[in-house]
Amino acid sequence: MRSQKHLFSLPEEITYLNCATMSAQLKSVEKIGIENLLKKSTPYVIEGKHFFEERAILKQRFAQLIDCTDDESVSIIPSVSYGIANAVKNIPFEKGDEIIVLDEQFPSNFYAWKHLETTEGVSLKTVAAPPVASGRGSLWNEKLLNTINSKTKVVSIPQVHWADGTLFNLKAIREKTNEVGAYLIIDGTQSVGAMEFSIQKIQPDALICAGYKWLMGGYGLGMAYYGARFYDGTPIENNWMNHEGSEDFTHLAKYNENFKPKSARYDMGESSNFILTPMLSEGIRQLNEWSPKAIQEYCKIISQAPIQQLKKLGYFIEEESFRANHLFGIYLSEEKKLQSIKDRLQAEKIFVSYRGNAIRVSPNVYNTEADLMKLVECFF
């Protein structure tokens, strides 16, 4: 794979290494967004079938992306918090149950679980991050696995940590949760689209993804997968589209209280969104064409030498086997001054993020090794 910068509208003077905050927009996604925005000026061209056609295509493309053989297990959601809320509503909790999350996990995958301590009498267990040192990622995975026990009801974690890209062994975690009958809920926002994810191999109970980062969509729409344990659940909202028979506009007032099969019941209201839905669909189409495996390999190729250079300068970056290639954190030694590095990055028009104690770098297919070497120069 080669640099795909020509498919984006990034100015030459900008070095954008911040996809973990928001992806640069594909020209094709921009074009589709504008075309569909203009359709509202001629609403008479929008027919009943258009409420369902693009939704179906989006679900098929997302199912392909995550190696899911059944697109009826896929839902369209507005946000990660919405997707998590559907899961929370449909898990039968008992007093004394334990829910496991990670240290400094993203808030949208924390607050809903934390609230259950008050409402359901459960206990939230946070697996603390080990000190920044060699073997940190391996030790964090080990601590997580050791925390899962017979009281564990839910493990709700990301595939890679949003702050520094630490990678978690989902296969091993799934095996351990299966042993104790616990639910495995994955926030794939910072991984799905940029690295391989297989529903068939991992078999999570739910996978929740925001759409405006690595899925290349617009802000305000995301995707979710809900497995068999959620097929008969009750969604957090009743809307006209998540009930059976909604395709027949002439019978909408002949109310059908039955939800659509499997995970279609968890679709958000107005999921036909005539602007955001086709934009996200186009973004995922392009990802499937490239393949997440190729994207991950490309990010590895362009970041390998720059990361080695940063390590030689005394900065800590997690070992390759326990971090993503598309998202990694740079930890400073005590004598290094963060503000001076920030100032240099700003002066050079290099865009990264600062999360916790890490400088978060998240390249994508529009970047090159030269971009990352330019970043390295700011750390001398």
For 74-96, write each residue's pLDDT tens digit: 999 999 999 999 999 999 999 99
CATH 3.40.50.300 for domain 44-290, yes or no, is: no
| pLDDT for the residue numbered 90 | 98
For residue 13, pLDDT over 80 is answered with yes
Backbone angles phi, psi at 164, to 5 degrees: -145, 5
Q: How far apart are CA 380 and CA 375, in angstroms?
A: 10
Q: What is the pLDDT of residue 356?
A: 84
Tens digit of pLDDT for each residue in 215-238? 999 999 999 999 999 999 999 999
The per-residue pLDDT for range 246-259, each reduced to its tens digit, is 999 988 999 999 99
- Nearest in space to 222 (alpha carbons), one of 73, 76, 86: 76
Mean pLDDT of 255-279: 96
pLDDT in tens, 134-183: 999 999 999 999 999 999 999 999 999 999 999 999 999 999 999 999 99
Q: Which of 255, 237, 257, 222 is nearest to 62 (CA)?
A: 222
What pLDDT, on a 0 to 100 scale, did the predictor assign at position 24? 98
How many residues comprise the chain?
A: 380
Average pLDDT over residues 184-210: 98
Q: Where in the chain do CATH 3.40.640.10 domains reside?
A: 44-290
Residue 320: which pLDDT band, with cuts at 50, 70 and 90?
very high
Type and span of the H or E element at 185: strand 183-187
What value does the mean pLDDT of the chain take?
97
Given 3.40.80.10, 3.40.50.10880, 3.40.50.970, 3.90.1150.10, which CATH number is that of 5-25+292-377? 3.90.1150.10
pLDDT for residue 337:
87
Domain with CATH 3.90.1150.10 in the chain: 5-25+292-377
How confident is the model over 347-379, as pLDDT tens digits? 999 999 999 889 999 999 999 999 999 999 999
**Rounded CA separation 7/301 (Å):** 20
